Chain A
Amino acid sequence: MKAKITFGIWEAIMMLLNTICVPLLLGFPRLMIETGGTAGWIIPIYITVLAVLFFTVIQRLYRNFEGKDIIDIAEIALGRIGRIVTGILLMLYIVFLVTITLREFTEDMKVIALINSPISFVMMFFIAAMVFGCYFGIEPLVRFSSVIVPIIALGFLFIVFGVAGNYDINHLFPILGNGPRAIFIDGFFLVSYFSPLVLLYLIAPFVRTHKIMKITGYTTILLSSIFFTLGTLCYLLVYPYPISIENFLPIYQLARVMEYGRFFQRIESVFVLIWAASAMSMLSIGFYFVVYIFRKTFELDYRRPMIWSFIIIIFTLSLFPPNLMTVLELDKMYYSKVTWIISLCYPILILLIARLRSRNPEKEAKTR
Chain B
Amino acid sequence: MRLQIPLAITFLIGLFMAVQFFVPHEVFQYSFESLLAWVRIVGAFALVLGIGSLLRTHWDKIRRRRRDWPYSIVTIVSFLAMCVIGIGFGHEPGTVFYWVFENIQVPLDATMFSLLAFFIASAAFRTFRARSTEATLLLVAAVVVMLGRVPSALIVSFGDTAVGHYLHANMPDVSEWIMNFPTVAGKRGIIFGVALGAIATALRVILGIERSHLGGGGGGGQ
A associates with B: no
Contact surface of B with A, Cβ cutoff 8 Å: none
Contact surface of A with B, Cβ cutoff 8 Å: none
